[in-house]
Amino acid sequence: MKIRVLLLLFLAIQACKSPEARYPVSQKTGSYIDESVALNKKMIAEEEEEIQEIIQADSSNEYLNSEDGFWYYYNNKNTDSLNTETPEFGDVVVFDYSIASIEGDPIYAEGEIPTREYAIDKEKLFTGLRQGLKLMKEGETLTFLFPSHKAYGYYGDKKKIGTNLPLNVKVTLLDIKKENDNQITN
């Protein structure tokens, strides 16, 4: 009888014990992520160096550096002092564009991509072009030089634009429809 009582007491004590954490058999470090970050930094630096070489070789255009990490120049600048508005969140813009490699070899030639309507920051569009459109005024044509991370990045467009490809994109902003003009009034 004593043995049964001791056994029951032992089981009761064991049952009240809190569970212990199980630790993984192997622990991974952040080395893969660290290597990936270092590789991406190196790739971006090489692309930006290539873009700087193109800019230095092109004395016919005045390149501007955007705060968002790409470069551009005006093919056609709107000098109308009455037309100073740029698109803002929700405005619908109508534009044409063509895409070339950073060296200027056509990928999608002018007219190959149909005229596009885009609601600023409400639809999908690659990062650089989304940011570039916000710099433009109606009637302007700009040429942008985008590093790959501002263009289609690692995935490309799964058609003609490959992986990690910096781009030369020429954009003409045809029309800006302000958001409050687009709303239906009752």
Check pLDDT > 80 for residue 182.
no
Q: Which of 162, 131, 149 is nearest to 43 (CA)?
A: 149
Could you tell me the two tokens for 147? 């590093």
pTM above threshold 0.85: no
Q: What is the 3 state secondary structure string of 60-109?
A: CCCCEECCCCCEEEEEECCCCCCCCCCCCCCCEEEEEEEEEECCCCEEEC
Please indicate, yes or no, if residue 54 is contained in any of the structural domains. Answer: no
Please indicate, yes or no, if residue 97 is contained in any of the structural domains. Answer: yes
Return the bridge partners of 142, or none: 74, 171
Over the range 56-76, which residues count as b (16 or more CB within 10 Å of their CB) and which as e?
A: eeeeeeebeebeeebbbbeee
Please indicate, yes or no, if residue 163 is contained in any of the structural domains. Answer: yes
Please indicate, yes or no, if residue 27 is contained in any of the structural domains. Answer: no
Please indicate, yes or no, if residue 129 is contained in any of the structural domains. Answer: yes
Q: Which domain holds residue 143?
A: 63-182
pLDDT in tens, 97-122: 999 999 999 999 999 999 999 999 99
State the pLDDT at residue 185: 44
Please indicate, yes or no, if residue 112 is contained in any of the structural domains. Answer: yes
Please indicate, yes or no, if residue 31 is contained in any of the structural domains. Answer: no
CATH number of residue 163's parent domain: 3.10.50.40
Please tell me the total count of domains within the chain.
1
Please indicate, yes or no, if residue 87 is contained in any of the structural domains. Answer: yes
pLDDT in tens, 140-167: 999 999 999 999 998 989 999 999 999 9
